[in-house]
Amino acid sequence: MHQQSSQSEDMGLASQPSSASRSSAALPTAFRMSRRDLIATALLVSGASAIVVTAAIAVRNRHRPEPLPSLLDLKPPRDNPWQTRHLPLYFECESSACRATAEDLRKNVAWTLNPCADFYEYVCSSDRARTNVYDHAVAHYLREVREVIRKYENLGFFSKTAMSKKITHFFSACQSSQLDLSSWRSQLAHVWKYLDLIGDLAGLESMLATFSRVLEVFPIVQVSVLEASRRTCVVLTKPDGNGADRIFSVPHVFTTSFQRFALDLLGHTGHVPGEVDDLVNSAAKVEAQLQKYSGPQGERYYHLHEYGDIPASQVGNGSSAFDWTTYLRNFLTGIVAVKADSCVIVKSPAYVRHVVKVFGKVSKKDVRSFLKLRAAMTLIPFRKLADGPDKEEVERLCTLATYKLYRYAFLKEFNDTQLYRCLSAL
């Protein structure tokens, strides 16, 4: 979790989460925006308002006071009963528990987190009890996003740009939209159609490439592009999170409540058609196989030359269940010309080996069901709008949705931040 001074120099895009954003940002605008604008338009017409993309979250890295010396010497919670009662997520600085919680918060809440300094700012700078650090962090970044939207709303006529107009119009339309379960199911079906997840079964490589190109979400493996030393390499990394979203209380696939959650997410609260039940069971099969991974969860940062690289054709280690060269070529069309001997750096070798085994255990139908459910998870703010929330919650959900759809515009506003990915948290 700690930053090394040589990291930015030697790792370049490979070691920084923004590399994934760079590769996504480099996608041909006509391809990405036309698909996503079509989805957004379809949702707005029916009241769903737009497509939400799960991705990175940037938070303004504000100046903060130095932590008090006494805070740096705090013992674990069991030795500090007062802190255990009042600050349940406060741990000894630099302890393994502190680092583990910091990594968890970074993945599931998405703000630039340093276990000591940021714990001081977000938790320890106030004497009052703060029982939910997650809610506090979410409120913090949503407040930042809302301030940018308000800034765009107050721009003079000649100061408005095409992007600022899109953002304010979308936010306004989202707040005034009316969505129910019927229209939600209808528009979700349209989204699946745009993702080529309806009709004849496509190849695994094609389905995954289209899903990530359109939604800019990596449900199975994170793909980025590294350009260094006059050489271009594709980088494969374990994606952050597993779809178990803390903000919207998405249960883990191994819990007994997962199936009920999935059915409700798809808009079925009463009688469940057989094909929907089959979809959920099939999707859960892939989710469960992916979550059985028991290797290293975090990434260690090395110098670039220490990773090594392999040809794209060797990523699957001879398995015919999934053609990695075809997948990378489809996904990176227009960015990098991927061939069988193209350079690939595997930053998460144990995880990629696990994924290779998973592809050998699941069918195309299973993967398609999995992607349908993950697409619905990406759109979860609009499912929440279909429940008829109060005005304050509508504003919160629309703020989140606006950020997700136009996040690159917001990142220009947050020009002094350190960006971290958060694939499953929002």
Q: Identify whether residues 281 and 315 lie together within a single domain.
A: yes
Give the mean model confidence (pLDDT) for residues 86-112: 48
Q: Identify whether residues 286 and 390 lie together within a single domain.
A: yes
Give me 40's structure tokens.
């957004």
Q: Identify whether residues 76 and 205 lie together within a single domain.
A: no
- Which residue among 115, 146, 177 closes a domain? 146
What is the pLDDT of the chain when averaged over all its residues? Answer: 72
Looking at the domain assignment, is residue 151 inside a domain?
no
AA identity, residue 300: R
- Which residue among 111, 146, 181 closes a domain? 146
Side-chain half-sphere exposure of 252, counting CA atoms within 13 A? 8
Asked if 207 contacts 369 with a C-beta cutoff of 8 angstroms, the reply is no
Q: Identify whether residues 91 and 221 lie together within a single domain.
A: no
How far is residue 127 CA from its own chain's centroid?
33
- For the chain, the straight-line distance linking the first and the last C-alpha, in angstroms and rounded, comes to 21
DSSP assignment of 341-375, as one string? T-EEEES-HHHHHHHHHHHTTS-HHHHHHHHHHHH
Looking at the domain assignment, is residue 404 inside a domain?
yes
Q: Identify whether residues 393 and 279 lie together within a single domain.
A: yes
* Percent of the chain clearing pLDDT 70 (strictly above): 60
Q: Facing residues of 235 across strands?
A: 224, 345
> Please, which contacts does 353-360 make with residues 24 or more away whose CB atoms are closer than 8 Å?
353/317, 354/290, 354/292, 354/293, 354/295, 355/220, 355/221, 355/290, 356/315, 356/316, 356/317, 356/319, 356/321, 356/322, 358/286, 358/289, 358/290, 359/204, 359/319, 359/321, 359/322, 360/319, 360/321
Q: Identify whether residues 317 and 374 lie together within a single domain.
A: yes
Looking at the domain assignment, is residue 253 inside a domain?
yes
- Least confident range from 49-53, 96-100, 218-222, 306-310: namely 49-53
Q: 3-class SS at 234? A: strand
Looking at the chain, how many residues does it have?
426
Give the mean model confidence (pLDDT) for residues 345-367: 93
Q: Identify whether residues 47 and 79 lie together within a single domain.
A: no
Looking at the domain assignment, is residue 112 inside a domain?
yes
Spatial separation of the C-alpha atoms in residues 419 and 58, rounded to whole Å: 5
Residues 49/52/58/59 CA torsion (nearest 10 deg): 50
| pLDDT, position 374 | 93
Q: Identify whether residues 110 and 231 lie together within a single domain.
A: no
- Which residue among 98, 114, 146 closes a domain? 146
| pLDDT, position 154 | 92
Spatial separation of the C-alpha atoms in residues 263 and 272, rounded to whole Å: 8
Which position has the token pair 């940002």? Answer: 25
Q: Facing residues of 232 across strands?
A: 227
Looking at the domain assignment, is residue 157 inside a domain?
no
Looking at the domain assignment, is residue 63 inside a domain?
no
Torsions phi, psi for 322 (to 5 deg): -150, 125
Looking at the domain assignment, is residue 352 inside a domain?
yes
Q: Identify whether residues 284 and 382 lie together within a single domain.
A: yes
Q: Identify whether residues 16 and 88 lie together within a single domain.
A: no
User: Rounded to whole angstroms, what are the CA distances from 72 to 75, 95, 98, 124?
Assistant: 9, 11, 12, 11
Buried b (16+ CB within 10 A) or exposed e, 389-425: eeeeebbbbbbbbbbbbbbebbbebbeebbbbbbbbb
Number of Cβ within 10 Å of residue 311's Cβ equals: 14
Give the mean model confidence (pLDDT) for residues 141-162: 88
Looking at the domain assignment, is residue 138 inside a domain?
yes
| pLDDT, position 269 | 84
Q: Identify the sign of the CA torsion 91, 95, 101, 107.
A: positive
Q: Identify whether residues 30 and 140 lie together within a single domain.
A: no
Spatial separation of the C-alpha atoms in residues 395 and 375, rounded to whole Å: 22
Domain of residue 232, residue span: 7-56+167-413
Its pTM stands at: 0.68
The CATH number of the domain where 300 resides is what? 1.10.1380
Give the mean model confidence (pLDDT) for residues 291-304: 71
Q: Identify whether residues 21 and 85 lie together within a single domain.
A: no
pLDDT at 125 over 50: no
Give me 368's structure tokens.
């398609």
DSSP assignment of 111-175, as one string? S---TTHHHIIIIIT-SS----HHHHHHHHHHHHHHHHHHHHHT--GGG--HHHHHHHHHHHHHH
Side-chain half-sphere exposure of 407, counting CA atoms within 13 A? 27
pLDDT at 92 over 60: no
> Please, which contacts does 144-152 make with residues 24 or more away whose CB atoms are closer than 8 Å?
144/59, 144/60, 144/414, 145/399, 145/400, 145/402, 145/403, 145/410, 146/395, 146/399, 148/410, 148/413, 149/399, 149/402, 151/413
- Least confident range from 176-180, 280-284, 368-372: namely 176-180
| pLDDT, position 312 | 94
Spatial separation of the C-alpha atoms in residues 167 and 147, rounded to whole Å: 13
Q: Number of folded domains in the chain?
A: 2
